Every structure is written in C-alpha cells, then in structure tokens.
Structure 1
Amino acid sequence: MATGRVMALDVGKVRVGVALSDPLGYTAQPLLTLWRKNRNDDLRSLLRLIRKHEVVEIVVGNPLHLSGDVSPWARKVQEFADEIRKRTALPVHLWDERLSTRAAHEILNEAGHDQKVRKYVIDQVAAVVILRGWMEAKEQSAARAALEQNDARELKVHKEE
C-alpha cells in the first residue's frame, strides 16, 4: 500500500471540518475545524495543511439532497473541490456525505460530549465519518478486484487442465 495521508473535508458555510488518515491509510482522525473567512483565505489555509501533513489524496464531502439530487450548496462545494484540485494537482474525490453530520452527532452523544463544545468538533467528526466511508469503500473495491482476479486465474487453470 502506498504511503501518504488522505485528507477529508466537511465543507460548510461557516466551518470546514478536517480529518486525516494515518500514513498507511488504515485509520481516520479529526485534525481541526477551520472557521471560514473567504474562499482565498480558506484555500490558502487548506493548502498549508496539505503540505504540512504530506497529503497525497483529498476526499470532499458532497452534500447531496437526501433524494440524491445535487443541491445548490453541493454545486458550490464541487467548485471548491475543483479549485483544490487545480491548486494542488492531487486526486480530489467527491464523497456522498448524506447523513454524515447525523452520524457525527450520534458519535458525540455516545462519547458524552457536552453540547457547548459540539460546534467546535462536529465538523471534524463529520470529516472522519466521510473519510472512513471512503476508505471502507476503497478497501471493499480492492477486495472485490482481488477476488475477481483470483477467480479468473482459477478459471484459466481449469481450462488448461
């Protein structure tokens, strides 16, 4: 497995939650909450984090409607993701984030987090949920591909017999 961190972003109108994988891509941890100022300052801050943490891939939560339709906010987030892609030349993936904030609230409830501090960490936890979902899907896809490759080898062996 290639080394390098994957960064996940939960982009909101007021805050951006940031999470990182470990260098081997096994775990996801919250990093910080970026309080938004303006697009250029936000991008500049994210670019610094990307360099500092040696990020090799970025996953951006795509806030679709529950129906799956693209929301007006999703269009803005997609433009933001495109700008990150252009400025970094890194792979940037959009990941369906429907219900990630709800899952983040459930995680914080289970951990007994105080309502007063929740707004400072909720976006980070949502970014972790996004990153975990993307990492699990990538792992499942790799496992399916390995099984298909193995099945193809076995079929070839049986045909040769």
Structure 2
Amino acid sequence: MDSHTDEESIFPATGRVASVDYGTVRIGIAICDPDRILASPLEVHPAANWEKDGDYFRDLVKDERIVAFVVGLPIHCDGQESDKSRESRRFAKWLSDETDLPVRLFDERFTTAAAKSRMAGAGYTRAKKKKRVDAIAALVLLESFLEACRYHNDVAGEPVTSAATGGDGLDDE
C-alpha cells in the first residue's frame, strides 16, 4: 500500500492549516484562514512536556477549527537530516496520533533566520523578540508550505507516515 498517496488523498484541500515550528524549548504555532490565503502567527507554547500536551493540541484544533498540521523538518544545507530532524518526525507522528488529523513535514531551512529578519524592523524589544520568534518562524513555514502547494498544484511536503521511513515517520539510523 502506498501511504504517500493515502495521506495526500486525506489532506483536506480547504480549511485552516496550522504550522508548528517544533523546538525543544518552545513550539511556535501559526494558522491560516480557511481559504489558505492569509497566514498569521498564533502563539508560542512551551515544549518541555509536549508528550503530555495532547489536551492542549486537541483544544487548539477545536478552538481554531484546524483541519491539518504542517510540522517543520529541520534539514542541513546539504540535505542531510540530524537528531533534531528525528525529534521533529517523532513530534509530528505524536501530533497526528493525538489529534487524528493529517500532518505533513515540510523543510524548515532558514525559517528562523527569515523570522528574525522580519522582526528586525518591527521595534520589538529583545525579550519580546525571543518570545515571538518561534511563532514568526511558524508563520514563515506556513507561508512557504502554502506557496509550494499553490505552485505545484498539489500537497507539498512529506506525509508523517512516509514509506521512506518504514511507515511510522521515524528512522533509527
């Protein structure tokens, strides 16, 4: 069975998508409108006990009417993955299991740098930048994902249950 095709067929064509910039300290979250035209940073959530935050994410889905998630996949400039990539894959699989929604992994290279660049002229204090940068990085991720979907006229990224990773989205090298 080709899980990639199955995942693409269930990824909804409309509705609000939330992007997640997963980090070990903070999780940045951004959302888009149901027509996927505008994206906005939503919030930053502490990452310390994410495995116990199922209620938080289920409430987020309900309150914001989210139909799918995009999780940033950190990839080195040479295309190689790292321990951080595996952590993001594990989080994405957990998020899919907890919310019962489709989750795509999408290359997040340079999202934090782009977020910092956007914030540079906004007049944020240093403390405010630190609190907000992860949500802005999630916004950059979501905008990139939506643009890639429009450009290719298809679902961008990689499904969490990719056949390339043994079907569970996790690869123990």
Candidates 76, 79, 84, aligned match of 2:87 = 76
Equivalent residue, structure 2, for 1:137: 148
Candidates 54, 61, 66, aligned match of 1:55 = 66
- Give the partner amino acid of 1:48: D
| Bigger Cα Rg | 1
SS in 1 for 2:18: strand
Alignment of 1:108-123 (within 5 A): 108-123=119-134
CA distance in structure 2 between the aligned counterparts of 1:39 and 1:19, rounded to whole angstroms: 17
Residue range with higher mean Cα deviation, 55-64 or 43-52: 43-52
Residue range with higher mean Cα deviation, 45-54 or 7-16: 45-54
Q: What's the CA shift for 1:47?
A: 2.0
* 2:13 matches 1:21: no
Q: What's the CA shift for 1:7?
A: 0.2
* 2:54 matches 1:43: yes
TM-score normalised by structure 2 residue count = 0.77
* 2:103 matches 1:89: no
Q: What's the CA shift for 1:103?
A: 0.2
What is the RMSD of the two structures over their aligned residues, measured on CA atoms?
Answer: 1.7
**% identical aligned pairs:** 36
Equivalent residue, structure 1, for 2:21: 10
CA distance in structure 2 between the aligned counterparts of 1:65 and 1:47, rounded to whole angstroms: 31
Does the CA-based 8 Å contact 2:22-2:28 persist in structure 1? yes
CA distance in structure 2 between the aligned counterparts of 1:76 and 1:142, rounded to whole angstroms: 29
TM-score normalised by structure 1 residue count = 0.83
Q: What's the CA shift for 1:37?
A: 3.0
SS in 1 for 2:116: helix
CA distance in structure 1 between the aligned counterparts of 2:58 and 2:77, rounded to whole angstroms: 31
Equivalent residue, structure 2, for 1:107: 118
CA distance in structure 1 between the aligned counterparts of 2:84 and 2:108, rounded to whole angstroms: 12
SS in 1 for 2:76: coil
Does the CA-based 8 Å contact 1:58-1:93 persist in structure 2? yes
